[in-house]
Amino acid sequence: MMPRLRNAPPRYWLVVIAVVFFLGFPTVISSFQSSLWAQALILAIAVMGLNILVGYSGQLSLGHGAFMALGAYTSAILAHRYKMDYLLTIPIATLFTGLVGFLFGFPALRLSPLYLALATFALAVVTPSLIKRPEGLTGGVQGIILIQPDPPPFASDLFAAVTGTAMTSDQWIYYISLFCALLLFWVAWNLVRHRPGRAMRALRDGEVAAAAYGVNIAGFKTLAFGISAFYAGIAGSLFGLATGFVSPDTFPVSLSIQLLVGAVVGGLASIPGPLLGAIFAYFLPIEANQWVPSQSWIPDQVASTVKNAGPAVSYGVLLILIMIFAPNGIVGLIRAGYDWLYRRLRGATDRETGQLPPDPQTV
């Protein structure tokens, strides 16, 4: 225990730096860029939810896009049909999705992780056509267009005082997303440090053994699924707000794959992992789509194919390579690099007490 503590990176400072960075970021980038970063933060919330399920309880969901869709449509329908304030719909949608996830967790807890993966994957594939059907409620293929809220005076004034320009609704939505992300990451951090987190990890590392130690398997599996759906629900609800629009095509299977890429690339069973992974998974196709057509040596026809096929190819390659070579993702690589550097700087004197890193396999 002691050597690991001593080796630990200065976490608190990293957290403070990250918070300051994200608070100040919209003051230096455009309103449009803020909107993109808001979506990346929202994705990070959903990835965090998936991470709680996969990384900390060893169950695999390939259908978290479906829970995002549920959250988004709950909010959109309440705001559009029942004229509720969108911000008020967010907690309702979140709790509702969490509840559905919890109920979904009941049959799921009887299944092997493999079957759960299979069922949730099927759910993700079917979701768009399920949304299309009740047209009166969901607007069918057309979807629902949402009105984005204006920033309240206090926020707008504060922002104007710093930057000299008024706050746009995109920037306001960015701050709402940031607030939610910070809150939910803090909750996740507390969760995994305390009893539920330990129980879930015990579950992941061996169900039978966990039961022998008195962990209520059924309860915690269901709980993990519920919490994870809760995160996906709030992410979906915010996502509708950020894009100003929900439609069946907002939630294809590839969204669920994108969430999994975020979780795996960032590093399963870590708290900063989902943030890094989500930012990566969100901006990779966007940046690539801007970069490829701008290169004059790439023929137009190739460029347009890359635009369509690029994300799938790169996500696929990433999933495979990371699972084979770096199962702990970016965070694992950073930790390994830090440990290596630390040992280098400390020299040979510390080698006796230097412990081997824990087994890198986390799923």
Partner 1 sequence: MQEFFQQVVSGIAIGGIFASLALALVLIYNAMGLVNFAQGEMAMFATFVAYALINRGMSYWIAFPITLVLAFGGGILIQRLVIKPVERAPVLTLVIITLGLATLVNGFAGFIFGYVPRSFPSPFSADSADLFGVFISYRDMGVIAVSGLVLLGVYLLLQRTTVGLTMRAAAHHPEASRLLGVQVSWMLALGWGLASAVGAVSGIMVAPILLLEPNMMQSIIIYAFAAAVLGGIESPLGAVIGGLIVGVTVNLAGAYLPGVGGDLQLAVGLAIIIAVLIARPNGLFGRAAIRRV
285 binds partner 1 (CB under 8 A): no
Site string for partner 1, 120-139 (x = CB under 8 A): -xxx-xx--xx-xx------
Least Å distance, CB 90 to partner 1, is 28
Residue 341, Cβ density class (10 Å: 0-12 exposed, 13-18 middle, ≥19 buried): exposed
Find the binder of partner 1 among 23, 30, 32, 115 (CB under 8 A): 115
Full DSSP string of 228-248: HHHHHHHHHHHHHHHHTEE-G
Least Å distance, CB 96 to partner 1, is 20
Contact residues for 262 (Cβ-Cβ < 8 A; gap 6+): 43, 44, 46, 47, 50, 274, 277, 278, 280, 281, 282
Residue closer to partner 1 by CB (options 158, 313) is: 313
Task: Find the distance separating the first CA and the last CA of the chain, reported in whole Å.
Answer: 22
Find the binder of partner 1 among 9, 107, 337, 357 (CB under 8 A): 107
Binding residue count for partner 1, defined by CB under 8 A: 51
36 binds partner 1 (CB under 8 A): no
318 binds partner 1 (CB under 8 A): yes
11 binds partner 1 (CB under 8 A): no
Which span sits near partner 1 by CB under 8 A: 55-63, 214-222, 234-242, 332-340? 55-63
DSSP bridge partners of 245: 145
361 binds partner 1 (CB under 8 A): yes
Helix, strand and coil in the chain, % to nearest 5: 80, 0, 20
Find the binder of partner 1 among 1, 2, 28, 208 (CB under 8 A): 208
Tokens representing 10 are 């200065």
3-state SS, residue 124: helix
Identify whether the C-beta of residue 263 lies closer than 8 Å to the C-beta of residue 55. yes
Can you tell me which residue has the tokens 């992300």?
181
Which span sits near partner 1 by CB under 8 A: 43-51, 56-64, 85-93, 329-337? 56-64
Query: For residues 237 and 92, what is the distance between their CA atoms, to the nearest angstrom?
Result: 10
295 binds partner 1 (CB under 8 A): no
Least Å distance, CB 47 to partner 1, is 14
Which span sits near partner 1 by CB under 8 A: 91-99, 188-196, 312-320, 349-357? 312-320
303 binds partner 1 (CB under 8 A): no
CA distances from 232 to 68, 196, 262, 296 (A): 5, 19, 13, 40
Identify whether the C-beta of residue 327 lies closer than 8 Å to the C-beta of residue 363. yes
Least Å distance, CB 101 to partner 1, is 15
Least Å distance, CB 111 to partner 1, is 6
110 binds partner 1 (CB under 8 A): yes
